[in-house]
A and B are shown apart, each in its own frame.
Chain A
């Protein structure tokens, strides 16, 4: 068990700088997920922690020890690769035992560890098989088993579920969460799938272009994104963004004029915003409601039925498209005109720099209106 501390960690490949000074404090036993779009540096950051890439600048501490110059095997880590990286010519047992043979463990000790891991992952029946005789899900279990037997201080997962089909992904995700509960080991997990991030993480680190955009618990990120990027990245379907102007500022609220002509009072701390300043209003599809006295109106372009709820894509004019999520079956057809109401308590405001205005303290934990106003 160990904490992982990154201090101004940087990485360049030749002249291309891919990690721009990352500071991060991962606590002992914590499950931290790195998310971000392709090429944001999340995998590189994980490989820096693993020691598969050299750190260009800054310091990395695992369990209080500076490990910048330690070989991967000496860092007390185990890594699960996206491609499983099993030794193709060895059977499952040897795949798991191979790394232990070097650690001068006795044969019986190795055997006990391998069988314990196999029992934990329910792959005891597969120990004699070669990797090519296994399904994708079984291979990934073996890869996880190989990590477990090393008894690492820190588990590193590099998009471990990307190559699995949807059903297996959910199942393996649950097993990884269980593994974390059982071992209480520090885990760092890279994914581009925000559902994995939301469900697994104690804390999520959102990365973009080699920089940390925000670190926080899944709900913190969902309810209080620090900037436009995080707001757009977390949550599916994506948050709606509406360009508008500040019409006025009051204590604990900012009045914005909507493009359709109406105004809306958003309960956020003004923090030096001035009237006339262009801002971006953000609101999640769940918090936009079809209502006769709505502040914006538009034409329904497309309806997507999902069973438990449905999505309406509304063209609000001038190329602005709003996504609306409503419970149950759709009551509007494509082509019909609807007016929508924005739940002001759930609106976010972002300044020109992309930074979010802090929410007013009395509305910090809103509940979803979808459940409260299902009728």
Chain B
């Protein structure tokens, strides 16, 4: 009792409150030392180009002469000349590309998620040759997108393509289809190739989650007499949801940036152009660095917005971590 009172009366040194101990300071120093290289590299390869792109989007820079430009404010985005609205935000081609990209992302990621779950469930079961199957399924993912896009371009070719040939032989189509040139089928073709390529990635992420699941609850479910379908929807799916969300976010970010696949498959068709293709066209083909940068900046903002929304929705659900 007396000692407690005595301790309570000891004045706390003012310095001790504000300052960190020397051990904490040295820990902070080494922490900064360790993350400094990656921060510097990130600033150089990501921060600087991004800042430059945003800056150019407020100028009338031209690809022929990048040193001679003027600041024009928001005119690349939206401007009013003599009562007529101009700029990126009024360009129907831009909005077409935004819609194409979002549609492509929604459809391909949805299909990849469902197929990925199915493939992961199959690979999670014990069967002979499972190890080899896991390796084989990764092959489409390991092939560079340009190569697989070119490959599929040939397979989908209207005259020499193997797909038309097969469908003709089976009798599903009467005449060869121009898969990639026809606006109705071109984006579906792009979705098909994307699904072919990325389902395995999705499956692997989901498989990792499946293998983390405790086995005993499945035995408990067996004793409880729960049907396999119910086990999947009531036990497996809720438990892999956090991992599934991460996989969906990863794939969505990837799909929103889609460029090479659609570029190779459908060239410069306006009907199928993605946001990235639109930006490249403005910047390189039309030499309009200002407008192209404005498009790139908008892509950045759109993706950032979608990530924030997804993460917020995800965190709400991730918050109630099932484990």
Stretch of B46-54, B184-192, B221-229, B246-254 contacting A (4+ beta carbons < 8 Å): B221-229
- Quick check: is B323 within 8 A (CB to CB) of the other chain? yes
* A88-B239, A102-B230, A132-B323 known; A83-B216 Cβ under 8 A: yes
Nearest chain B residue, comparing its CB with the CB of A99 = B224
Q: Chain A: interface secondary structure?
A: loop
Which residues, 142 to 173 on A, are CB-close (under 8 Å) to B? 146, 150
A87 and B225 contact, CB distance less than 8 A: no
Bound Cα distance A79, B323 (Å): 22
**Count of interface residues, chain B, beta-carbon cutoff 8 Å:** 19
Asked if A78 lies at the interface with its beta carbon under 8 angstroms from chain B, I say: yes
Contacts of B214 in A (CB 8 A): 83, 85, 88
- Given the known A-B contacts A88-B239, A88-B323, A89-B239, are A98 and B219 also in contact in the complex, defined by CB atoms under 8 Å? no
**How far is it, in angstroms, between the C-alpha of A65 and the C-alpha of B219 when the chains are bound?**
23
Question: Shortest beta-carbon distance, B12 to chain A, in Å?
Answer: 37
| B238 proximal to A (CB < 8 A) | yes
Shortest Cβ distance from A240 into chain B, in angstroms?
A: 40
* Closest Cβ neighbor of B226 among chain A residues: A102
Residues of B within 8 Å of A84, CB to CB, are 216
Pair A72/B222 contact, Cβ less than 8 Å: yes
Q: How far is the CB of B44 from chain A (nearest CB, A)?
A: 43
A77 in contact with B225 given A87-B217, A89-B239 (CB within 8 Å): no
| A98 with B234, Cβ < 8 A, contacts A50-B223, A73-B224, A73-B225 known | yes
| Cross-chain contact B224 with A85 (CB below 8 angstroms) | no
Tell me whether A103 is interfacial, beta carbon within 8 Å.
yes
The answer to whether B225 and A99 have CB atoms under 8 Å apart is yes
- State A83–B322 Cα separation when bound (angstroms): 17
Interface residues of A in 56-110 (CB under 8 A from B): 71-74, 77-79, 81, 83-89, 98-99, 102-103
Does A195 count as interface, using CB distance less than 8 angstroms? Answer: no
Interface check A52, CB cutoff 8 A: yes
Q: A103 touching B225 by the CB < 8 A rule? A: yes
Q: How many Å lie between the Cα of A310 and that of B209 in the bound state?
A: 53
Answer yes or no: B220 CB below 8 A from chain A CBs. yes
Cα of A72 to Cα of B234 in the assembled complex, Å: 19
CB proximity of B245 to chain A, nearest CB, Å: 14
B238 lies within 8 A of A150 (CB): no
CB atoms of A85 and B323 under 8 A apart: no
Contacts of A88 in B (CB 8 A): 214, 217, 239, 322-323
24 A-B residue pairs with Cβ-Cβ distance under 8 Å, sorted by A, are A50-B223, A52-B219, A72-B225, A73-B222, A78-B223, A81-B216, A84-B216, A85-B217, A85-B220, A87-B220, A87-B221, A87-B235, A88-B217, A88-B239, A88-B323, A89-B239, A98-B224, A98-B226, A98-B234, A99-B225, A99-B226, A102-B224, A102-B230, A150-B224
Measured CB to CB, the residues of A under 8 A from B are 50-52, 71-74, 77-79, 81, 83-89, 98-99, 102-103, 130, 132, 146, 150
Q: Which residues of B contact A (CB under 8 A)?
A: 214, 216-217, 219-227, 230, 234-235, 238-239, 322-323
